[in-house]
Amino acid sequence: MVCSLLFPEADVVRIQKEDFSVDEEIKKVMTVSKSIGGVATFLGTARDFSKGRDIETISFEHYGGMAEKKLAELREKILSEHDILALSIIHRVGDVVPGENIVLIVAASKHRAAAFDACRACIDELKKTVPIWKKEITPEGDYWVEEHP
């Protein structure tokens, strides 16, 4: 278990409107243990195209309360299934424009392989289990996205 005093649960799993700093989030993860030898990150960002359409904005909606709970459960699952020392997950909601950050996963481990694997597993599972939805705002209209590419 990671040190909860240095790295409170509320801070490592967040859903927020505002942008985040990748550097700051990595620094927080690094405070967990001096045994960390590798940190892998996944940063999801907003594209300016989708299925041949230009994207003006992506609007994210979440089920408040349940989405945070599912993210926390996901973090516990990934921590228990991978040999990692720390994991943080941050997802933005509200309007995001192309080029901006959407989601950040930071996984830290003693050796690199576990951090890479945990990061990949975490984003794949997040897309399937956390009640967050995105709507693409385009010049041709607005479209809710349903698939998990």
Minimal CA–CA distance to 130: which of 50, 57, 73?
73
Q: Determine the interface stretch with another protein among 20-28, 32-40, 55-63, 76-84 (rule: CB under 8 A).
A: 55-63
Which one of the spans 20-28, 31-39, 113-121, 133-141 is the region binding another protein (CB under 8 A)?
133-141
**∠ CA 48-66-84 to the nearest 5 degrees?**
75
Q: Using CB under 8 A, which of the segments 28-36, 46-54, 112-120, 126-134 binds another protein?
A: 126-134
Cβ at position 26, least distance to another protein in Å = 19
* Rounded CA separation 137/115 (Å): 34
Contact flag: residue 99 with another protein (CB under 8 A): no
Counting contacts by CB under 8 A, is residue 66 touching another protein?
yes
How far is residue 107's CA from residue 78's CA, in Å, rounded to a whole number? Answer: 10
Tokens 């994991």 locate to: 87
60: contact with another protein by CB under 8 A: yes
Binding flags for another protein, 1-40, as an x/- string (CB under 8 A): ----------------------------------------
Describe the strand order of the beta sheet including 38-45 as a list of residue ranges: 13-16, 86-92, 101-109, 38-45
Residue 11's alpha-carbon distances to 87, 90, 91, 146, in angstroms, are 11, 9, 12, 29
Which one, 36 or 137, has the nearer CB to another protein? Answer: 137
- Report the interface residues with another protein, using CB under 8 A: 44, 60-63, 65-67, 69, 91, 102-103, 123, 126-135, 144-148
